[in-house]
Amino acid sequence: MSPVSPGEIATPILHADLDAFYASVLIRDRPELREVPVIVGGGHRGVVLAANYVARAYGVRSAMTGTRARRLCPQAVVLQPDYDLFSTVSTGVMECFRRVTPLVEAISLDEAFLDVRGASRRLGGPVEVAERLRAMIHDEQRITCSVGVAASISVAKLASKRAKPDGVVVVPPGQITSFLHPLDVGELYGVGEKTRALLHRLGLVTVGDVAHTPLRTLQRAVGEHLGAHLHQLAWGSDRRELTPRSTGVFGHGARSGEGDPDKSMGAQETFGRDTDDRAVIARELLRLTAKVTHRMRVAGVAGRTVTLTVRFADFTTITRSRTLPEATEGTQEVYRTALALYDALGLQRARVRLVGVRAEGLVPRERVERQLQLGEREHGWSDADRAVDRATLRFGSAAVRPASLLG
């Protein structure tokens, strides 16, 4: 890992945006469609949900009527959306982000902001982190991702747009104005069509025009709050902090600490090489389980359903679930369930590419009424888990681990 330069430390915000997400997910198992125009949605009277880059070259865009899209590109293949699949893939991607940093603000199924300043010691600078994330997503989900790297949320968002498709763009602090000022004001993050039209009517066409308009003049023209906000955006000086949150099913979710917790937590890992060794797979399931249950205990939640994901060498993916008698956040209980689900598959020589463990149906820990069973020791695995958590928080994740994971 190369040393992190001061310039990289100054650009800790990443905006990761999945490329043509809905289309990419639907065609990843259909190689015959990769080089042809594909439209998602846009039925007889519907509107286009998404289009791949081949279709976009013909002028097809999301929110366009299906009739117009087919007129622009009559040879396009039209696919119907699969919202359950989109949500599943999005969940896997967001888990990749959270392996790198807990500071993830998901703003839709296919994009999120990340603050990676705390990951530099483990993973290198923001650019290295961006490339690592892109590789993980490509390997595990077989779709591509573009990433913008900057000092602020608004500039990182614009940088990721310039990175598309399948690239990384970094905007160092010293290049913010040269990057921003030539752009149309409509490209500023959060500026909609009405605000863009208003600014254009005022003769403010580029971001540079806004930046060089005196603040009080701008505020008199568009309002005090909006004027101040636009001024900050135009100079790249906005410093809104990330608000870690997850998307729920198809884009609806709650901020951390508000309402119910996320409905599930999980982790998955791709092996360095495909394997059919049960011992290797069992160790990975234990490692993933320990990661998931630690996060659950930190969040103060427990889960009742354990889900196992297995992806084979041919990319066939299956999931199996088991619901427990009562919710738990215990590492051993979740691990035993996940391993039993794997053994129940009856695999002999099938080579495995990826495994994942997920706890679902999460509820706040205080809602779980757990009674001591007859003959059960007063102190057991739950005390051990909490001791591990305390050591991890103080000394790092490698301080304490199961003996089978040593080496």
User: pLDDT-derived band of residue 398, with 50, 70 and 90 as boundaries?
Assistant: very low
Which has more confidence, 398 or 143? 143
Q: 277 a known binding residue?
A: no
Is 111 among the residues known to form the active site? Answer: yes
Q: 17 a known binding residue?
A: yes
On whether both 218 and 346 belong to a single domain, the answer is no
The reply to whether 222 falls in a domain is: yes
- Among the three residues 196, 217, 235, which one is the final residue of a domain in this structure? 235
* pLDDT value, residue 367: 59
Matching residue, tokens 């598309």: 164
The reply to whether 300 falls in a domain is: yes
On whether both 205 and 331 belong to a single domain, the answer is no
The reply to whether 22 falls in a domain is: no
On whether both 292 and 202 belong to a single domain, the answer is no
109 pLDDT more than 80: yes
The reply to whether 69 falls in a domain is: no
On whether both 309 and 378 belong to a single domain, the answer is yes
Find the domain containing 303 and state its range.
264-405
User: If we measure between CA atoms, which residue out of 282, 289, 286 comes closest to residue 306?
Assistant: 289
389 pLDDT more than 60: no
User: If we measure between CA atoms, which residue out of 116, 83, 113 comes closest to residue 99?
Assistant: 116
Q: How does pLDDT run across 65-85, given as a tens digit for each residue?
A: 889 999 999 999 999 888 878
Q: How does pLDDT run across 303-328, given as a tens digit for each residue?
A: 989 999 999 888 788 889 898 888 99
User: pLDDT-derived band of residue 157, with 50, 70 and 90 as boundaries?
Assistant: very high
Domain CATH code at residue 199 = 1.10.150.20
The reply to whether 351 falls in a domain is: yes
On whether both 374 and 293 belong to a single domain, the answer is yes
On whether both 198 and 331 belong to a single domain, the answer is no
On whether both 272 and 367 belong to a single domain, the answer is yes
* pLDDT value, residue 217: 94
User: pLDDT-derived band of residue 395, with 50, 70 and 90 as boundaries?
Assistant: very low
- Could you give the percent of the chain with pLDDT greater than 90? 51
The reply to whether 210 falls in a domain is: yes
On whether both 206 and 322 belong to a single domain, the answer is no
On whether both 324 and 277 belong to a single domain, the answer is yes
| Mean residue pLDDT across the chain | 83
On whether both 277 and 369 belong to a single domain, the answer is yes
Domain CATH code at residue 300 = 3.30.1490.100
| Spatial separation of the C-alpha atoms in residues 200 and 68, rounded to whole Å | 28
The reply to whether 58 falls in a domain is: no
**Ranked by mean pLDDT, which of 201-205, 345-349, 384-388 comes out on top?**
201-205
Q: Of 8, 95, 105, 111, which is the active-site residue?
A: 111
User: pLDDT-derived band of residue 182, with 50, 70 and 90 as boundaries?
Assistant: very high
Alpha-carbon 214 to chain mean position: 39
CB 107 within 8 A of CB 242: no
Task: Flag the least confident range among 19-23, 47-51, 123-127, 346-350.
Answer: 346-350
Total domains in the chain come to 2
378 pLDDT more than 80: no
- Among the three residues 216, 235, 254, which one is the final residue of a domain in this structure? 235
On whether both 386 and 286 belong to a single domain, the answer is yes
| Spatial separation of the C-alpha atoms in residues 110 and 50, rounded to whole Å | 12
On whether the pTM is more than 0.75, the answer is: no
| Spatial separation of the C-alpha atoms in residues 128 and 111, rounded to whole Å | 19
The reply to whether 372 falls in a domain is: yes
Count how many residues are written for the chain: 407
On whether both 350 and 399 belong to a single domain, the answer is yes
